[in-house]
Amino acid sequence: MELLDLKVGGIVIGTLLVIWGVGYMVREGCKDWREQRDLKKEVDNTNRAFHAKYRWEPDMRTGTDQGKWVRKDGLPDDDYD
């Protein structure tokens, strides 16, 4: 454990490494959290825009829902932008 015996200005180098490691983990965690938050906002906005234009029309034939998305204004549209 020669590394733990080394000192810089009276502070053990191991303590400095632990402080640096915790700071690195916090910084990376915050960066990942911000990326996930931005992605969630983008998905929510896309879903909100889609549901403003389309609605689900259920069709129960064989015990399972085989419905489809249709435009709220009633116009035919096979392409779900």
Read off φ and ψ for residue 4, nearest 5 degrees: -75, -20
Length of the chain: 81
**Which pLDDT belongs to residue 16?**
85
Read off φ and ψ for residue 32, nearest 5 degrees: -65, -40
**Which pLDDT belongs to residue 25?**
97
In a domain, 49, yes or no: yes
The whole domain housing 49 covers 2-71
In a domain, 78, yes or no: no
**Which pLDDT belongs to residue 19?**
93
User: pTM above 0.85?
Assistant: no
Identify whether the C-beta of residue 65 lies closer than 8 Å to the C-beta of residue 59.
yes
In a domain, 81, yes or no: no
Residues of the chain with pLDDT under 70: 1-6, 8, 78-81
Q: What are the CA-CA distances from residue 24 to residues 9, 34, 77 (Å)?
A: 23, 16, 50
**Which pLDDT belongs to residue 66?**
86
Q: How many domains does the chain have?
A: 1
**Which pLDDT belongs to residue 30?**
97
**Which pLDDT belongs to residue 50?**
93
Helix or strand (DSSP H, E) at 29: helix 13-53
